[in-house]
A and B are shown apart, each in its own frame.
Chain A
Amino acid sequence: NAGVTQTPKFRVLKTGQSMTLLCAQDMNHEYMYWYRQDPGMGLRLIHYSVGEGTTAKGEVPDGYNVSRLKKQNFLLGLESAAPSQTSVYFCASMDRLNQPQHFGDGTRLSIL
């Protein structure tokens, strides 16, 4: 049982480059989330989805886009990477309300 899988695990980008982070879950969960974790700031929600084909903005959405074309996948895109987007990105999924979110192992992204 893989749970929540994030790809890639590490990446280094140059300023202005674009990339997509992939999150895949095999638990048939409805809800999916993208967070970033920076030192001393806990986790902050970037975007989320309440079901296939839906997306919504979280607390810090600027500079990111998302898509959820299939229920099991939630993609996070950086159109033009900036050094301020250097962070650890976590994806999470949740079955239904009042259940805990299940987290992936994270993607460590550095932008030079």
Chain B
Amino acid sequence: ELKVEQNPLFLSMQEGKNYTIYCNYSTTSDRLYWYRQDPGKSLESLFVLLSNGAVKQEGRLMASLDTKARLSTLHITAAVHDLSATYFCAVDGLTSGSRLTFGEGTQLTVNP
């Protein structure tokens, strides 16, 4: 059974600071997705990582994938308040239907 663990689950940081969210998973996969969810809202796709060593960047966010370590990271550079949200990683277990297993989510609060 595929398990996906994120840490930290809660993160409070100051504007301008850097931080990294970690996503570990338990079985072989080279397909990993990052989503953002604002309170009471839907999930928005941020990144699609499809191979070992994949790196994607969008604004102040950068995601990477190490399939050998079964680890993905979401790095936040010079955080701003607008980045406050819950971030989920989701792993495709490479089974029928491209089913995703989600992590618990990391609730990020960026303080002025």
- Identify the A interface with B (CB < 8 A): 31, 33, 40-45, 48-50, 56, 58-59, 90, 92, 94, 97-106
Contacts and interface: CB of A to CB of B under 8 A. Distances in A.
Given A42-B103, A42-B104, A58-B99, A100 B42 contact: no
B25 interface: no
Contacts of B59: none
A104 B100 contact: no
Contacts of A100: 33, 35, 45, 48
Of B44, B48, B90, B98, chain A has the most CB atoms within 10 Å of the CB of: B98
A101 B100 contact: yes
A105 B42 contact: yes
The 5 closest A-B pairs by CB, nearest first: A100-B45, A42-B102, A103-B43, A43-B102, A103-B42
A27 to B, nearest CB: 13
Contacts of A43: 43, 88, 90, 100, 102
- Range for the number of chain B residues in contact with chain A: 20 to 34
A104 B42 contact: yes
Of B48, B88, B101, chain A has the most CB atoms within 10 Å of the CB of: B101
Given A50-B96, A101-B33, A103-B35, 20 more contacts: A33-B100, A40-B104, A42-B104, A43-B43, A43-B102, A59-B101, A90-B42, A90-B43, A92-B43, A94-B98, A98-B31, A98-B48, A98-B50, A98-B98, A100-B33, A100-B35, A101-B45, A102-B45, A103-B42, A105-B42
Nearest to A42: B102
Contacts of B105: 42
Of A43, A50, A103, chain B has the most CB atoms within 10 Å of the CB of: A43
A43 B9 CA distance: 14
